[in-house]
Amino acid sequence: ANYIALTGQRLSPSAFFERFNHAFGQLMREVASRAVQAVREAACEDKPFNELGTLLEELSDVQVADSTCQLLRRLAADWAPSTSQTRPAAFKWHALVSLRDEMPVADGMTPQRTQDTRALPEEALTPGTLTFMDLGYTDTGRFLDAIEAGAHFLVRLKAQHAPKVLRVHAGKGERVRARGMRLTDALLQGMLREEGGVIDVDVQLEKQGRTASARVVAVQGPEGERRWYLTTVGRDVLTALEVAEAYRLRWRVELLFKALKSGVGLTALRATRPGAVLSLVYAKVIALALSRLLELSMPQKEDASGQQQATGRLALVLALTRCAPLLLSHA
């Protein structure tokens, strides 16, 4: 409907989507990459979140790795199988998002069943960067890859993950005896207990003969639960409590996903062929980048509240909802 309104041409849905093959999808991806880069170059260098001040003094970038799922029509089930029997087709859009500008550094599209850790962009291993990840990215091999590459990570630690304790920096109990024990064993046997609601230890990661040291932090949550984190960020950069606070910044990736879904209409995809889906996804990214460029072109009031800025951004995204069909109308 938007295509007809914008171009005045009448075209059946099948003929419309046949225009978009894999090569065109890759072209749209390249255009989207350039649009994002334009946003990155236009963004003010002094605009990073205040919460990242210390991190950005020590690291070249702070990023979030995550994915969002989108259902498709049944005809796409042969190349994009989902985990649902009632809605058998869906894809994941994987993104590595910089918290400097809330735009993707790298991205990719896979069937929904693909595990997040298998689709982690290689850019997450860039030396000097820090990447926040959720439990879906737990993979000791990838953690070792990051350490060997000089990249940092901060991820929630799975309960069954039991690295070897090398040294206790914060925690009550028998610190010397805890050395060399598996973390879970040291906890169960009372060799390691919280100190002021915190545990902070050096651990050894190991897989297939490869080893490296990392840091495990436990912080008491608001309801008394214990939250575990695995990271390589040093104590001179983040204290144990600051590790937990920094991890909360991971939710900012949801702002990007919400803008794509609710703002520029990612949830309204009608395509079923891989090339068409790819083309439409990156058309949405282009529309979002254009909205950000418009936002950056507007002078911000120094006293503007976060709510006012967020409202302005959402209004821009909604105003550009029709950008994607306009781009596609010139194919």
Interval 308-319: pLDDT, tens? 555 555 555 555
Identify whether 295 is part of a domain. Answer: yes
Tell me the CB-side half-sphere exposure of residue 17, using CA atoms within 13 A: 13
* pTM > 0.75: yes
Question: What per-residue confidence (pLDDT) applies to 16?
Answer: 65
- Alpha carbon of 171 to those of 44, 143, 283: distances in Å? 42, 24, 51
pLDDT tens for 253-304 read 999 999 999 888 888 888 889 999 999 999 999 989 888 888 877 766 555 5
Nearest alpha-carbon partner for 175 in 161, 196, 195: 195
* 183 lies in some domain: no
Average pLDDT over residues 247-254: 92
**pLDDT band with cut points at 50, 70 and 90 for residue 117:** very high
Q: Which residue has the higher pLDDT, 60 or 44?
A: 60
The answer to whether residue 195 sits within a structural domain is no
Q: What is the domain count for the chain?
A: 1
Q: Which residues, at least 6 apart from 305, have a Cβ–Cβ distance to it below 8 Å? A: none
- Mapped onto helix, strand or coil, the DSSP state of residue 148 is helix
| Mean pLDDT value across the chain | 86
Alpha helices (H) along the chain: 2-7, 13-18, 22-42, 53-58, 140-149, 175-178, 183-188, 240-247, 253-258, 274-297, 306-319, 323-328
CA quadruple 292, 294, 295, 296: dihedral positive or negative?
Answer: positive
Give the pLDDT confidence score for residue 43 in this predicted structure: 76
Confidence class for position 5, pLDDT limits 50, 70, 90: low
For residue 277, tell me if it sits in a domain.
yes
Instruction: Indicate whether 37 belongs to any domain.
Output: yes
Mean pLDDT of 70-90: 93
Question: Is residue 14's pLDDT more than 60?
Answer: yes
Cα separation values, 249 from 51, 105, 123, 222, 292, Å: 8, 17, 19, 17, 20
Q: Considering the domain boundaries, does residue 167 fall inside one?
A: no
- The better pLDDT of the pair 83, 160 is held by 83
What is the rounded CA–CA span in Å between residue 204 and residue 166? 7
- At residue 161 the predicted structure's pLDDT band, cuts being 50, 70 and 90, is confident
Contact 59, 130 (CB under 8 A): yes
Domain range spanning residue 28?
1-42+264-331
First CA to last CA distance, the chain: 17
φ and ψ at residue 212, rounded to 5 degrees? -165, 155
Residue 115, Cβ neighbours under 10 Å: how many? 13
Contact (Cβ atoms closer than 8 angstroms) between residue 171 and residue 195:
yes
- Residue 43 has a CB neighbour count (10 Å cut-off) of 19
How high is the pLDDT of residue 321? Answer: 47
* Residue 115 confidence class, pLDDT cut points 50, 70, 90: very high
Output 312 or 137, whichever has higher pLDDT.
Answer: 137
E strand or H helix at 105, and its extent?
A: strand 103-111
> Per-residue confidence at 46, pLDDT binned at 50, 70, 90?
very low
Of residues 322 and 184, which shows the higher confidence score? 184
User: pLDDT above 70 covers what percent of the chain?
Assistant: 82
Tokens 């060799």 correspond to 191
Please give the Cα distance from 295 to 142 (Å, whole number).
Answer: 37
Whether 120 shows a pLDDT value over 70: the answer reads: yes
Is the model more confident about 198 or about 270?
198
pLDDT band at 118 (very low <50, low <70, confident <90, very high): very high
38 part of a folded domain: yes
Is 121 in contact with 96 (CB distance < 8 Å)?
Answer: yes
Residue 294 lies in a domain: yes
